[in-house]
Structure 1
Amino acid sequence: MERPELPLPQLHAFVVLAEELHFGHAAARLGIAQPPLSQQIRRLEDKVGHALFSRGPGRVTLTPVGRELLPAARRALGDLADGLAAARAVGSGSTGRLRIGFAASLALTVLPGLLRDFRQRFPGVRLDIQEMTTAPQLTALHDRTIDIGLLREPSDTDSELAFKTVLTEPFVAVLPSAHPLAGQRTVRLGDLSDSPFVLLPRDVGPGLYDQILGLCAEAGFVPRIAQDAVEWQTVCALVETGLGVSLAPASIRRIRLQGVAFRRISPGTARTRVAVAWRSNDQNPLVAHLLGAVGQGAPASL
């Protein structure tokens, strides 16, 4: 059996009249004249198929049918009010869910402060944080499985995505403590030409990988890659075992391993950049809020 639709304005009029039990008072509360109120109630009674009020001289009372309908009508109006409030909150960006991908090394730099500040400003927003390397983040942005990416050396040629630099930092040499060059404060990059290298594979971060190989090429050699690892902490651990040396962003120095030495390199002008990425046509207000949080002032430097 098909359910009759009960228009919300008629339910509102019904609830107000049920509370006032007086047409004049209910009409005044609704801001309408009595005849339109009577018409609203009559239309609702026609839909229900039964009288909702008993009308007498100067007196209105609920019928048993009206008493049965009243709790459901209040729930329907309450649910609508709650839904409208929730929709307004989502539309304003004060609540909802924001999915963020981040490169693991950024947990050592921009990520903690950014998330702390965002949570203080928008405590009603649920943050879903996923650790991902650069290439998977770009795929996830296209697939709409994340909303924001924090990554290293992205390509700016992707027309569907937008990027903003939030941090730049120099490179450091990552050496086993027993390496002959570990005793120097600054290492000439060319002096590492005979050492095997431990690097992130190109498919997880092509921009950074190409930049490191470019630095080595400028120093006159092609690095002999003995081992790769998808996380910088693993790279450092493999360096500690003596498998090779590496070049890494300077923030990696915050990974404390007793058997690893981090040294400035010469020339030391090259810098790697960290960027925030998002879909250029994204209308999610939460994305705009986060971009506002990372967009205060010029990009930071380490």
Structure 2
Amino acid sequence: MDRRIDGGAVLERLELEAFLTLAEELHFGRTAERLHVSTGRISQTIKKLERQVGAPLFERTSRDVRLTALGERLRDDLRPAYEQIGAGLAQAIIAARGITGRLAVGYSALWCGDLVIRAAEVFRARYPDCEVRIQEAQLGDPFGPLRAGELDLQLTEFPVREPDITVGPLVFSEPRALMVSAAHPFAARESVSLEDLVDTVLLPMTGNIPDYWLEYHYPSRTPSGRPIPHGAPITYWQEVLAHISVGSGVSVVAARGSAYYTRPGVVFVPFSDAPTIDYGLLWPTAGENARIRAFVNVIHELREQGDPATR
């Protein structure tokens, strides 16, 4: 990336980057670190540029580095063009990688939706030529929209063991709680155990749901092998809340649900011994593409940064 400066001289890429970075950092060592070259290389490059210009661009002392008036002017003249070139190159790379078009992302729980929406904001800013559509995925058919092509990607509960679906890394985990009616004997307790489920009626979900998934989230037996009574299966999550509020049964949920499902007559009691509910990203193996990989990367960047939606 060469640019001509006054008098027909050619500004090489390192000279341009070294000048603009040093103009920002005002420190040769930090400039060298950012550009992954030696401090001596930066010093030589700046001296070469100053010879081309015919005047000093920086004032150097043993204690600090400052731009001269000419250096400030050159910085102000070059920065917009440099940023425009960088933006154009980035867009070309995005187009070459196929990060354009449309991406449909689903989520199963409201707290998953928080993270998906936050990630979509970052994704849209980074890849403006790619449209992102977000929709809730029903627990009664957790993989149907992916298989039908309605969704490209989904943040949802594990475990998932489907031959045609790729399972991404774990995104976050949540402790479990038991949702009970305010009139239920467990409502006044500080915690419950999985063995306590023998004294309840557990309300499971129904639909096109794998048996292994149901057993993990709505177990049929306690760890000691005692059977857990199950009530009539329910298709939609809002129905679960209605049944619990009138005392028809109980249900297992992520403890974070207490901040989202504030319904009169429903109490959340933490489990003392239940495994966590784990959440991760899924996508059809045959449909994997650059858009999906880019969105997955954004999700994991937010997780590494400690974004509140991942806690």
TM-score range, shorter chain: 0.5 to 0.7
Does the aligned pair in 2 maintain the 1:166–1:274 contact within 8 Å? Answer: yes
Post-superposition Cα deviations, 1:90-146, rounded to whole Å, max 9, x if no partner, equal 444553200122214444653332233323333442222232236745344344442
**Offset of residue 173 of structure 1:** 0.7
- TM-superposed CA distance for 1:171, in Å, is 1.1
Matches within 5 A, 1:115-154: 115-133=120-138, 136-154=141-159
Please give the per-residue CA displacement for 1:245-289, whole angstroms capped at 9, x wherever unaligned: 111122322211121000111224x01211101234545321121
1:263 matched to 2:269: yes
Contact 2:168 2:281 in 1 (8 A): yes
Residue 250 of structure 2 is aligned to residue 222 of structure 1: no
1:263 to 1:251, Cα distance in 2 relative to 1, 3 A: same
Residues 150 and 277 in structure 1, CA contact (< 8 A), matched pair in contact too: yes
Pair 1:186–1:156, CA change in 2 (3 A): same
2-side partners of 1:186 and 1:108: how far apart? 27
- Alignment partner, residue 21 of structure 2: none
How many residue pairs end up in the alignment? 216
Partner of 2:160: 155
Distance 1:91 1:143, change over 3 A: farther
Q: Is the 8 A contact 2:140 2:207 kept in 1?
A: no
Q: CA RMSD in A?
A: 3.2
The residue identity in structure 2 corresponding to 1:221 is: R
Identical pairs, percent: 22
Q: Which has the higher strand share?
A: 1
Structure 1 residue corresponding to 2:185, chosen from 180, 185, 203: 180
Q: Distance in 1 between matches of 2:153 and 2:101?
A: 14
Aligned partner of residue 224 in structure 1, secondary structure: coil
TM-score in terms of structure 2 length: 0.59
Q: Could you report, residue by residue, the CA deviation over 1:202-256 in whole angstroms, capped at 9, with x for unpaired residues?
A: 6336444211344842154322222322343331221011111111122322211
User: Would you say the 8 A contact 1:200–1:229 is kept in 2?
Assistant: yes
SS in 2 for 1:242: coil
Is the Cα–Cα contact under 8 Å of residues 195 and 222 in structure 2 kept in the other structure? no
d(CA) in 2 for partners of 1:299 and 1:221? 43
Gap change, CA 1:175 and 1:227, over 3 Å in 2: same
Separation (CA, whole Å) in 2 of partners of 1:245 and 1:160: 31
Displacement of 1:167:
1.4
Change (3 A) 1:278 1:212: closer
User: 2:205 corresponds to which letter in structure 1?
Assistant: L
SS of residue in 1 equivalent to 2:239: helix
Q: Which amino acid counterpart does residue 241 of structure 2 have in structure 1?
A: C
Tell me the TM-score normalized by structure 1.
0.60
Which whole-Å CA distance do the structure 2 matches of 1:188 and 1:179 have between them?
15
> Which consecutive residues of structure 1, in runs of 5 or more, have no partner in the other structure?
1-85
* Worse overlay, 250-259 or 290-299: 290-299
Give the Cα–Cα distance (whole angstroms) in 1 for the partners of residues 114 and 224 of structure 2. 28
Separation in 1, partners of 2:117, 2:172: 14
Change (3 A) 1:239 1:262: same
Distance of 1:135 and 1:163 partners within structure 2:
21
| Aligned match of 1:245 | 250
- In structure 2, how many angstroms separate the alpha carbons of the residues matched to 1:213 and 1:283? 31
Structure 2 unmatched runs, 5+: 1-90
- Residue 88 of structure 1, CA deviation: 7.6
Larger radius of gyration, structure 1 or 2?
Answer: 1
Q: Which one of 285, 288, 300 corresponds to residue 293 of structure 2?
A: 288
Per mean C-alpha deviation after superposition, the further-off stretch among 210-219 and 230-239 is: 210-219
Contact 2:191-2:271 within 8 A present in 1 as well: yes
Compared CA separation, residues 181 and 226, structure 1 to 2 (3 A): same
CA distance in structure 1 between the aligned counterparts of 2:217 and 2:142, rounded to whole angstroms: 20
